[in-house]
Structure 1
Amino acid sequence: MQSLPLFFRIAGRKVVVLGQGEAADAKRRLVERAGGECVGEPEAHHAVLGFVVIEDDRDAEAAAIRLRCKGLLVNVTDKPALCDFTVPSIVDRDPVLIAVGTGGASAGLAKILRLRIERLLPQGLGRLAEALRDARDAMKARWAKPAECRRALDAALDEGGALDIMAAQGPDAVAGWIASSADSAPSGLHEIVLRSTDPDDLTLREARLLGSADVVAHDPAVSEALLVRARADAVRTGPEDTAHDGLVVVLRLS
């Protein structure tokens, strides 16, 4: 990765937007949609972010330097080399947000990816997220161990699960799932013998196991491209260190 994806909370905070025209207006709408307050450069010392929408390269760079000297992180439209951060294309199923970025390489590609994802995701995905948020205490009571709760949720949200994210869910779906005696996602020890170091060669089952693993025990020669398919907080260890609770996936090269 060349950038670290983050979601920056700007509700109730000031954001500088410099420039005129349709592109600058679009940035102002985006800031206001996220709850921020658009201000000009005189109020930069009270702001947290800055957007520069100025066509002239020298003027844009000068504006970015001025804002950066006042402590702001700056985005300069269509000039990725001048940016501290880039603005992704956004799929909005509030409170679910999916950001598609290309590091400034191609806004057109990010847009088309967003449109493809838009067509796939149901409109009710945000309501499902809110229901899960409201059910946190009930989930903790149902599954005492965090890893056990996470595996149960993984199984429910996966394809064909009780809360399949691609299926329409009724208002009582989450409560019904918690009250049911459905099994959690796989646990125990699972070995994957890799046919290559290309993550695209993983089967669907293997990719799901790797993505759900609490512990990934792997040969030193296993590529980082494969290891990043696991959860970021999964424990990584050597191939013989498999005495762990939860779901342990062993990756071995054939």
Structure 2
Amino acid sequence: MIESLPLFHRIAGKPVVVLGTGEAAEAKRRLVERAGGLVIADLQDGIARGARLAFIAHDDDAAAEADTLRAREAGLLVNATDRPALCDFTVPSILDRSPVLVAIGTGGASAGLAKQVRLRLEQILPQSLGALAAALGQARAALRARFPDAGERRRALDAALGPGGALDVTLEAAGEASAGRVEAWLSAARVESGGTVEIALRSDDPEDLTLREARLLGSAGVIGFEDGVAPQILDRARADARRLCLARDEELPRGEGLAIILRAPPAMG
């Protein structure tokens, strides 16, 4: 189970309330402006102009609580700096490879930890990742024409974007070369047949999955699982994958791309 639902909120050209003075308030103003939002420094003015988000960065606890209450009563979602109990949403640490954005959050537990995770990812994901995303967006129609079936299209992309693939997301390339990479891949792309892979789990801990097993779970369109497979394991599968509870040796539907059978771990004791 996740404690909050990550969402990307478009605020370009829209009013966003930012209250407070000092470094924390200025940081929130910069964040709103970076996303194209219109910073409103007065709560009542923001409410009148239809704002839906409020950042409250008062140093005084009483002022923060009072403005949080007023904003909520008007229907705004609130982020109160350094006061997780007052927050409807938290602000993640952002890795920017526009249009690719990676948001790292800790539910308000530690902004420093989120920053360090972002800095590690900065070393892994190249600057050209955004150009690759843009090229894939421009090739959407060609991709659909090349792979009309959604399952085949997904498997082809998984193979191309994965480790060692033609479009491996960790490979650095000049921005202008990304369109050429996508075009060259599309001209020769083939999709592997789906098939069924069986995974015998060793425990209920998803950290015990091998890298290959985790990758397969994230790619499969159908997940068959025995009684006794932990929910946290199933959470590692794609959200839109079909999930079927199976009796032992029962077969999965054929013709639906890659399918995974998860065997329950041995009973302990």
- Please indicate, yes or no, whether the TM-score normalized by the shorter chain is above 0.5: yes
Alignment of 1:1-254 (within 5 A): 1-39=2-40, 40-45=42-47, 46-169=50-173, 170-171=177-178, 172-180=180-188, 182-184=189-191, 187-239=194-246, 240=250, 242-244=252-254, 245-254=256-265
Q: Distance in 1 between matches of 2:251 and 2:19?
A: 55
TM-score by length of 2: 0.91
CA shift in 2, pair 1:59/1:157, >3 Å: same
Q: Distance in 2 between matches of 1:93 and 1:131?
A: 13
Give the match's secondary structure for 2:52. Answer: strand
Q: Distance in 1 between matches of 2:193 and 2:51?
A: 47
How far is the alpha carbon of 1:30 from its aligned partner? 0.3
Bigger drift between 124-133 and 203-212 goes to 203-212
CA shift in 2, pair 1:186/1:43, >3 Å: farther
Q: Distance in 1 between matches of 2:71 and 2:258?
A: 48
* Deviation string, structure 1 residues 25-82 (Cα, Å, up to 9, x no partner): 1100100100100012132222110000011111101010111111100000000000
Q: Distance in 2 between matches of 1:68 and 1:241?
A: 51
How far is the alpha carbon of 1:241 from its aligned partner? 5.2
Conservation of the 8 A alpha-carbon contact between 2:227 and 2:264: no
Q: Distance in 1 between matches of 2:109 and 2:192?
A: 38
- How many residue pairs match? The answer is 253
Conservation of the 8 A alpha-carbon contact between 2:20 and 2:57: yes
Give the match's secondary structure for 1:105. Answer: coil
Q: Distance in 2 between matches of 1:209 and 1:179?
A: 25
How far is the alpha carbon of 1:183 from its aligned partner? 3.3
Q: Distance in 2 between matches of 1:191 and 1:183?
A: 24
Q: Distance in 2 between matches of 1:59 and 1:186?
A: 61
Runs of 4+ in 1 over 3 A off after TM superposition: none
Q: Which amino acid aligns with 1:34?
A: A
Q: Distance in 1 between matches of 2:191 and 2:203?
A: 30
Q: Distance in 2 between matches of 1:228 and 1:161?
A: 25
Conservation of the 8 A alpha-carbon contact between 1:88 and 1:100: yes
Conservation of the 8 A alpha-carbon contact between 1:89 and 1:110: yes
* Backbone CA RMSD of aligned residues: 1.2
- What residue ranges of structure 1 are gaps of 5+ in the alignment? none
Conservation of the 8 A alpha-carbon contact between 1:154 and 1:185: no
Q: Distance in 2 between matches of 1:24 and 1:115?
A: 23
Conservation of the 8 A alpha-carbon contact between 1:89 and 1:100: yes
Conservation of the 8 A alpha-carbon contact between 1:44 and 1:70: no
CA shift in 2, pair 1:28/1:243, >3 Å: same
Q: Distance in 2 between matches of 1:186 and 1:164?
A: 20
How far is the alpha carbon of 1:220 from its aligned partner? 2.2
Identity of aligned residues (%): 57
Give the match's secondary structure for 2:30. Answer: helix
How far is the alpha carbon of 1:120 from its aligned partner? 1.2
